[in-house]
Structure formats: C-alpha cells, structure tokens
Amino acid sequence: MSEITTIENGKVKLTFKLSAEEYTKALNAAYHRIGSKYAMPGFRNGKAPRRMIERQYGDAAFWDKELDMAVEKACADAVAENKILPALAPEYSVLSYSETDGCEIEATIVTEPTVELGQYKGIEIPVQEYNVTDEMVDAELDKRRHEQARMVSVERPLELGDTAVFDFAGFCDGEQFEGGTAEKYTMVIGSHQFIPGFEEQMVGMTIGEERDVNVTFPEDYQAENLKGKPAVFKVKLHELSYEELPELNDEFASETSEFDTLDELKADIRRELGIQAEKDRAVAIESAVMQKAIDNAKVEVHPDIISAEAHAEIHSLEHQLADIGLKFEDYAKYMGTTVEDLHERYHKMAADQIKARTVIQGIIDAEKLEPTDADYEAAVNSYAERSKGWTAEKIAEELLPENRKKYAQTALYEAVVRIIKDSAVITKKEENNQ
C-alpha cells in the first residue's frame, strides 16, 4: 500500500513500503556481492556473517545498488497504483527500516505539467500579404550585380564604400589594450563594423599614410574596462580598392542566367520571389496559429522542470565551449551580456518550450490523433530539407510503413498543425513589412 500527499502544485510526496522479504533479499544480495571488501578479525574475506559486519560498519553497510533497485521497483509500483506521471527522477528518504517490518520510504516527485486547453480551433489570425514588389525585384537584381562585381585597386584618397586593408592598434589612457590590434585587416569603410566615428575618420587617407583616429567607446560596450572611455587608434593604410558593378542590361542577363534579356530575367526573379512569398506566408500562418493556441492554454509547470531543462541546455553549451577552449563567462562577455542574464534567457526558453510541448500533447490527446499519410510525408520532407542531398528515392524509402516509426512524433505535430490551420480564420493584415 502507498499514500500520496500534495506538497504544492506539481509536486507530491509518495510514501510506500518495501516488504521485509524484499528488504532482506536486497541486503543479502549486496552482502554476497561486496561482503569481501569488509575485513573482520578471525574471518577470511567474504566469510564474516552479514549481521556481524553490520554491527561493525553500521546498518547501511549493504545499502547498495541492490537496495536501490528494489526501492525503484517499489516506487514504480506505487507510482502506477496512484496514477502519477513523474517528470523528474524521484528523491528518496528512508523513514524506517528493519528486517522484521521492512523499509518505509518517502519519495518526493515532481509531476508532469498539466494543461487546460483554450481555443485552438477557429482561431482568427491577421496575416500580412506577401506581395512581390518592383523594389524587391530591384533588390534581388542589385544583389546579383554585387555577386558579379570585380574589385579594382586604386591609389586615390579613401572614400566611403571603399575596401581598405590597414593596420590598427588601440590605446586607452596611454596603454595598448587587449583585442584592439590587427595587421592587414580588410573592411568596407562605411559598413559600421567598428566603433562609431572610427571609419568616418579614415576617409581621405592615402596608401602608406598613418593617422590617429580618436573615438569614445559606447557605454554599453562589452569590455568593462573600456565602457565609455576615450581611445586612440593608430592606423596605417596599405591597400585600397572599390567594387566595380556590371551594368544592368541584356548582356548582364545572358551572362549570368539562362535568359537572353533583362526583362526575361526580371520576370523569372518575380516568379521565384512569388514562390518564396507563398512559403513565407505559409510559415507565418503556421507560426501565428500555433502560438495563439499555446497562448490560449493554461499550463502548470513546476519550476524544477524548467530548471532541469535549462541547466541541461547550459551544461551542453558549456561542453561545446570547452571543446574550443572557451569558458561560459567568456562566452557571456563575447555576447555582450552576463552569466546571470544568459541563465535567465535559458530558463525563459525552457519554460516556453515546455509549455508548447505540453499544449501540443494536450491537443494530440484531446483529438486522439493518428498521423495521416500526408502528415508523415510532411515530416519526412521537413527532415530531408534539413539534411540536404536526399534523393526522391531516399524520401520514398523513408515513407515506407516499416520506416515511419522514427518520424511519428514529427508526424503527430504535423497533424496538430493541420487541425489548427485548417480551422483558422485568416484575415488580411494591411501593412507589408518586407
């Protein structure tokens, strides 16, 4: 028998017993396995009686993995009996024990999040129209021009937009500071990669010229020792070039595409942008309706679950950083933030992810969903897009019934999306932010 009491929302205490027979059996099993490690005067290793060893070394001498396994099994039985859904591994404490009465144990259990679904069918969502404009076509043409541009070396004074190769060394309070020095650094002047005012002061320099550039570091600069401080950079210009763009004409079209004229190229760009616009609209709709369904639900999540997931993600990141020789603290500085802020962000992300998963699972349960062929196809295609290089034959093979199991969760997600999207009411959002 077991007894359950609620400590707080999402956390319970479960009291259960390990029978005298089970308790003694676990102790004896541990005794036979590790009894020889206890030295007793007058006995060869492994031959001293268990109770004599316990008198010498304490009652817990044989509380080893055998007892852990017995406790875990008894706890699992009690969890099933009380229909508890643990989210994290239980924490155990022994209340009483004897070979006559057995072992009474208390487990503190954090339970799975609970969800009260809100509206997820018939959601009204305003979505902007993704129309292809002349400006978008021109921007794509301009991008292609830049891809075909050639760099031309010049010896005139530097102008904004030029590509410069230069040395620089930064000084603050008369001392050269770490990270403020480079040789043969290449940068487009006017791209605003450096501190405000730095690039503008290089305008007019000629090849071989040396110049002092005076700047003030921003108050929110990532390096604490430089925030808000004035500094001087000693700069020497080595090379200067500019980007020569090809003319936009029929010749450009024929040389850079399968089309003979610029008008044909523009028409094809408009068509491609239209296809992408439809994809963007579909993604926007899916994102909006899913988020609305999640926001409409009430989810109870114990903070311990959020902390466990956040810390697991942080721990994983720390390992990745260690592989490249970085500490978490250094990463925080590089990102222009603090360790505390990063922890807060990861906890927020964990909370959002847990809520989303819980709501999605709640809809799966409420609708008793079974993925359709179309759901599996969407799941496999999504995986193929991320994996790159999958052939049509590979996709067809993955869609065979015997290979579908690994896509079941994604297919269930697609089924949830289908239910929410198919019933959604999409209205037009006037502004176009593209």
Q: Which amino acid is at 264?
A: E
324-343 mean pLDDT? 89
Contacts 24+ apart (CB under 8 A), 25-34: 25/70, 26/62, 26/66, 26/67, 26/69, 26/70, 27/62, 27/63, 27/66, 27/67, 27/99, 29/66, 30/62, 30/63, 30/64, 30/65, 30/66, 30/67, 31/62, 33/64, 33/66, 34/62, 34/64
* Residue 434: predicted pLDDT: 44
Instruction: Delineate the domains of the chain, giving CATH numbers in brackets.
Output: 2-112 (3.30.70.1050), 150-244 (3.10.50.40), 262-429 (1.10.3120.10)
Q: Is 416 left (phi over 0), alpha (psi -120 to 50) or beta?
A: alpha
With vertex at residue 333, the alpha carbon angle to CA 327 and CA 339, rounded to the nearest 5 degrees, is 70
| 274, pLDDT greater than 90 | yes
Average pLDDT on 289-299 reads: 96
pLDDT at 430: 66
Cα 286 from chain centre: 20
Q: What is the pLDDT of residue 428?
A: 81
Place of tokens 């199991």: 405
Q: What's the pLDDT score for residue 262?
A: 96
CA distance 198 to 205: 13
Examine the pLDDT at 57 and tell me if it is beyond 60.
yes
Return d(Cα 110, Cα 117) in angstroms, integer: 21
Strands 298-300 and 114-116: antiparallel
Backbone torsions φ then ψ of 70, nearest 5 degrees: -65, -40
**pLDDT tens-digit series, residues 226-258:** 889 999 999 999 999 999 999 999 999 999 999
Q: Tell me the per-residue pLDDT of 180-232, one tens digit each, with 9 for 90 and over.
A: 899 999 999 999 989 999 999 999 999 999 999 999 999 888 788 888 999 99
Percent of the chain past pLDDT 70, that is, above it, reads 99
Whether the CB-CB separation of 365 and 85 falls below 8 Å is answered with no
pLDDT digit string (tens) for 31-48? 888 888 888 888 887 788
User: For 346-394, how does the pLDDT look when each residue is reduced to its tens digit (9 = 90+)?
Assistant: 999 999 999 999 999 999 999 999 888 998 998 998 888 888 788 889 9
Specify the pLDDT at position 119.
Answer: 96
Residue 431, pLDDT above cutoff 60: no
Q: Residue 93 pLDDT more than 70?
A: yes
Rg of the chain over Cα atoms, rounded to whole angstroms, equals: 34
Report the mean per-residue pLDDT for the chain: 91
Among candidate residues 141, 434, 125, 71, the one with its CA nearest the CA of residue 276 = 434
Dist. CA 180–CA 172, nearest whole Å: 10
Q: What is the pLDDT of residues 20-32, one digit of tens each?
A: 999 999 999 998 8
Q: What pLDDT shows up at residue 344?
A: 95
Residue 316 has pLDDT above 70, yes or no: yes
**Structure token digits, residue 116:** 């009260």
Yes or no: say if 97 and 109 are a contact pair by the CB < 8 Å rule. no
Task: Encode pLDDT of 137-167 as tens digits.
Answer: 999 999 999 999 999 999 999 999 999 999 9
Cα torsion angle, 35, 40, 45, 47, sign: negative
Torsion over CA: 96, 25, 107, 74 (sign): negative
pLDDT at 127 over 60: yes
CB 346 within 8 A of CB 308: no
* Ranges of H-type helices in 148-249: 198-202
